[in-house]
Amino acid sequence: MLHFRLITETKVRAMKAFLIDRYKKGGALRLGQSPEPQLRENDVMVEIHAASVNLLDAKIRDGEFKLILPYRLPLVLGNDVAGVVVRVGAKVRQFKPGDEVYARPGQDRIGTFAEYIAIDAADIALKPANLSMLEAASIPLVALTAWQVLVERAKLQKGQRVLIHAGSGGVGTVAIQLAKHLGAHVATTTSTANIDLVKGLGADVVVDYKKDDFEKVLKGYDVVLNSLGKDTLEKSLAVLKPGGKLISISGPPDPDFARENGSGWLLQQVMRLLSLGIRRKAKRLGIGYSFVFMTANGAQLGKITSLIEAGAIRPVIDRVFQFAKTNEALDYVETGRAKGKVVVAMK
């Protein structure tokens, strides 16, 4: 009888979640049941109120990162979360049940398209008091990306000139605001329809890519944040002055990233070769090239919270989808037409 009671008490509860069973380009996520995640001693269990959708989710589903992010399938997708703490691990002191929090979970523990997620307490921050759950869910991944590029990698200083590509996108809308807060002169590229939006966020110079070639208009810049393809990446070299920094969040990955990611020797060589062309072209011009793959960081997110509460950064949300429509939300993000972020509401 005792044996039976122990078994029933440790039974794992199930939750609703959107999963992938195999990597497939353009494949639909499956709405099904998944085990509620296990709570480790340094973890916080969050009841998810909202999640946002990123192109990263589509790339993971398509299998683009399977060499550097070896997930076990089936996999619950989702990389942004806002919600309420329901339980904490034995060693957690900074959060308690009832706290409203937001986070970008660690890349090895994603899964925000679900009812619950367990996240390392070091990756979480208290939700900005002036944001709703939907607004907060739109922030972590893109804001941390902007922070890690502009503050950590570029060390952007007051008076410097920065070009932020795709200014109306998820990363772009936050990066423009952060760069302005840091005192930089900000240029961005966007389409005609989004010029007013990016100017409203603080862009000093706006290049309409449908009418002008940015590399012919802009010169003498200190930093470029690239989130677009190879053609844009290489043209960006012409914008930078000697000593400038070309930082890409869309690749190609470089040897430094491979080492930081703990990749094996063979994968390090692959990444070295992938980025060899752009690194050589940059070096000839006296420009530094680097790749940033953002990482979860609760301390940095806490600093971003302060900027949001002070009014220096505000979220930009294009559309909100209900949880059952998560596949439609992902399809919309893949069109590339979203202004800012697309959010999924659980509640």
* 156-to-161, 186, 252 alpha-carbon distances in Å: 9, 11, 22
Average pLDDT over residues 262-272: 80
Peptide bond into 74 cis (omega under 30): yes
Identify the band that residue 278 occupies on the pLDDT scale cut at 50, 70 and 90.
Answer: very high
Look at the chain and count its residues.
347
Q: Which pLDDT does position 9 carry in this prediction?
A: 41
CATH number of this structure's domain 142-291? 3.40.50.720
Identify the band that residue 103 occupies on the pLDDT scale cut at 50, 70 and 90.
Answer: very high
Average pLDDT over residues 15-38: 97
Identify the band that residue 8 occupies on the pLDDT scale cut at 50, 70 and 90.
Answer: very low
H or E element in which residue 201 lies: helix 195-201
Q: Does residue 246 carry a pLDDT above 60?
A: yes
Average pLDDT, the chain: 94
* Helices then strands, each counted (H, E), the chain: 13, 16
Note the Cα 171 to chain centre separation in Å.
7
Instruction: Name residue 225's beta-bridge partners.
Output: 164, 247
Peptide bond into 252 cis (omega under 30): yes
Q: Which pLDDT does position 174 carry in this prediction?
A: 98
How far is the C-alpha of 303 from the C-alpha of 239, rounded, in Å?
A: 30
Q: Does residue 115 carry a pLDDT above 80?
A: yes
Q: Return all residues near 293 (Cβ < 8 A) that are at least 6 apart.
A: 68, 249, 253, 257, 261
Q: Which pLDDT does position 289 carry in this prediction?
A: 96
Given phi > 0 = left and psi -120 to 50 = alpha, else beta, which region is 38? beta
Identify the band that residue 6 occupies on the pLDDT scale cut at 50, 70 and 90.
Answer: very low
pLDDT tens sequence across 47-97: 999 999 999 999 999 998 887 788 999 999 999 999 999 999 999 999 999
The CATH number corresponding to 13-139+315-345 among 3.30.70.20, 3.40.190.10, 1.10.1760.20, 3.90.180.10 equals: 3.90.180.10
Identify the band that residue 256 occupies on the pLDDT scale cut at 50, 70 and 90.
Answer: confident
264 vs 24, higher pLDDT: 24
How far is the C-alpha of 344 from the C-alpha of 113, rounded, in Å?
A: 8
Strand, coil or helix: what is 224?
strand
How far is the C-alpha of 157 from the C-alpha of 116, rounded, in Å?
A: 40
pLDDT tens sequence across 144-179: 999 999 999 999 999 999 999 999 999 999 999 999
Q: Domain extents for the chain? A: 13-139+315-345, 142-291
Identify the band that residue 11 occupies on the pLDDT scale cut at 50, 70 and 90.
Answer: low
CB-based burial label for 157 (10 Å; 0-12, 13-18, 19+): exposed
Whole-prediction pTM: 0.94
Q: Does residue 251 carry a pLDDT above 80?
A: yes
- Gyration radius of the chain over CA positions: 21
How far is the C-alpha of 133 from the C-alpha of 49, rounded, in Å?
A: 7
How far is the C-alpha of 209 from the C-alpha of 104, rounded, in Å?
A: 31
Average pLDDT over residues 261-280: 84
275 vs 150, higher pLDDT: 150
DSSP 119: E
DSSP 345: E
Average pLDDT over residues 32-45: 97
Short-list 80, 30, 66, CA closest to 342 = 80
Identify the band that residue 3 occupies on the pLDDT scale cut at 50, 70 and 90.
Answer: very low
